[in-house]
Amino acid sequence: MIPRYSLPEMAALFTEEARLEMWLEVELLAVEGWAEVGAVPREVAAAVRARAPKVTPELVAAVNDRERVTDHDVAAFVDVVQDAVGPPEGSWVHYGLTSSDVVDTALCATLTRAADLLLDASAALVSVLKARALEFMDTPMAGRTHGMHAEPTTFGAKLALWCLQADRDRSRLGAARDKVAVGKLSGAVGTYSNIDPRVEDHVCGALGLTPVPATQVIARDRHAELLWSCASAGATLEMIGTEVRHLARTEVGEVEEAFGAGQKGSSAMPHKRNPILSERLSGLARVLRGYLGAGLEDVALWHERDISHSSVERVVLPDACLLAYYVLRRGAGLVQNLVVHEQRMRWNVVEGSFGLVFSQPVLLALVESGMARDGAYRIVQRDTRLAWEERRPLRTMLEADPEVTLDAAALDRAFSLERALHHVSRFREAIEEVEG
């Protein structure tokens, strides 16, 4: 992933040094596991750990140099580690293992830690959405369908629905984390032909992983589920960003992204304050969805394994974790710092719509008065069109229409924001149950 979208705490998990450190820890734990079952003297296991090399840029370079000879990254790594440990103890490094025992277990350990960061970021997003939903629960605004005014809602209700969706994303990330927190050290086709299952138990226990049955590789539906949870979180941030972009348009003017001191919205037009973060989140969500497609294609491997998934995962798994973490963190900041123009929201829903958002309660009031529904619909439809074309309040048009027999009290009820929003408390109750 390019540095622009890489936050340091997540990026640290996917450096070359971090990858080899995790491989080394799996190898050392495996030797210690052999010592636990009595196959290797304990002093040998202690010597292997004591003389194991530190993973430095120089060691990474040495492994890369060796790989130019072996054309096999794990074999090159094992050669370098064994040389560093020295004989005879070094010969026990990688004993009974196949490459995927190390790579897959190390990868799952890394992805588990990445998922923990994603869960932290997801929880922060849920928390800020909940707080701002409660803040604006009673702020009326126009609800829109097909991009057009529909009926009144509140900005808090909108935020509450985002909060509930983000909370579902958090649940999906938690489930994916559990699915990927697994390991295997069971040999070339997963039958433990040359390794004691207790070694697997020891390694996985030390890494906080659950041993699972496998072929030579851990089943890739687990990794695909993590990619799905990342893509889902991205889709939620895209939804939020898209809505912010619409509401920030000049002619709507209901929200705007925070604008920092010294910030420039355009290199050419000084007045511009563009929703750049929302647009960025929308774009990155597309990339996350692409990673999911690649991950799903990795599920079907030949027989007990092939390596068609390997090259894909070197790109999509780190990048998906990095991007998902980035959009979650930046999305929380977007919501936290969002500037909300409450007066503009109220104006748009009442004066700006000429009262058209109250057409349904007017229709229902006419039906309650004894008028046939279709006839009532046609009257309200006609008057709303005239109100819009003449830029006059709908209520004025209705009061002047001889076919409308509603009295002032009935019209007051129909055009009441309080009546329209009197059940908004259900949104508040829903998010009060959300942890955050």
CATH assignment at residue 16? 1.10.275.10
In this prediction, residue 1 carries a pLDDT of: 75
Number of helices followed by number of strands (H, E) in the chain: 18, 6
Q: Is the peptide bond before 53 cis (omega within 30 degrees of 0)?
A: no
Which residue, among 205, 200, 199, has the nearest Cα to 184 in the 3D structure? 200
Residue 423 lies in a domain: no
Residue 8 lies in a domain: yes
Residue 424 lies in a domain: no
Q: Tell me whether residue 266 is one of the annotated catalytic residues.
A: yes
Average per-residue pLDDT in the chain? 96
- Regarding whether 197 and 134 lie in a shared domain, the answer is yes
- Regarding whether 340 and 366 lie in a shared domain, the answer is no
Confidence of residue 267 (pLDDT cuts 50, 70, 90): confident
- Regarding whether 41 and 134 lie in a shared domain, the answer is no
Last residue of a domain, one of 73, 95, 117: 95
Q: What is the pTM of this model?
A: 0.95
Last residue of a domain, one of 320, 352, 384: 352
- Regarding whether 247 and 102 lie in a shared domain, the answer is yes
d(CA 125, CA 117): 13
- Regarding whether 233 and 222 lie in a shared domain, the answer is yes
Domain containing 403: what range?
Answer: 356-414
CA angle 222, 283, 435 (to 5 degrees): 55
Residue 388 lies in a domain: yes
Task: Determine the straight-line distance between the first and last CA of the chain, rounded to whole angstroms.
Answer: 30
In this prediction, residue 197 carries a pLDDT of: 98
In this prediction, residue 235 carries a pLDDT of: 98
Q: Tell me whether residue 146 is one of the annotated catalytic residues.
A: yes
- Regarding whether 330 and 396 lie in a shared domain, the answer is no
Residue 63 lies in a domain: yes
Residue 401 lies in a domain: yes
Catalytic choice (91, 171, 193, 266): 266
Confidence of residue 430 (pLDDT cuts 50, 70, 90): very high
pLDDT tens for each residue of 86-139: 999 999 999 999 999 999 999 999 999 999 999 999 999 999 999 999 999 999
- Regarding whether 158 and 142 lie in a shared domain, the answer is yes
User: What is the domain count for the chain?
Assistant: 3
Residue 403 lies in a domain: yes
3-class DSSP assignment, residue 340: strand
- Regarding whether 115 and 212 lie in a shared domain, the answer is yes
Last residue of a domain, one of 65, 80, 95: 95
In this prediction, residue 264 carries a pLDDT of: 86
d(CA 281, CA 237): 6
In this prediction, residue 262 carries a pLDDT of: 86
pLDDT tens for each residue of 146-191: 999 999 999 999 999 999 999 999 999 999 999 999 999 999 999 9
Catalytic choice (146, 271, 303, 422): 146
In this prediction, residue 272 carries a pLDDT of: 87
- Regarding whether 151 and 70 lie in a shared domain, the answer is no
- Regarding whether 401 and 380 lie in a shared domain, the answer is yes
Residue 433 lies in a domain: no
- Regarding whether 273 and 217 lie in a shared domain, the answer is yes
In this prediction, residue 304 carries a pLDDT of: 94
pLDDT tens for each residue of 340-367: 999 999 999 999 999 999 999 999 999 9
In this prediction, residue 268 carries a pLDDT of: 86
In this prediction, residue 371 carries a pLDDT of: 95
d(CA 409, CA 422): 18
- Regarding whether 190 and 91 lie in a shared domain, the answer is no
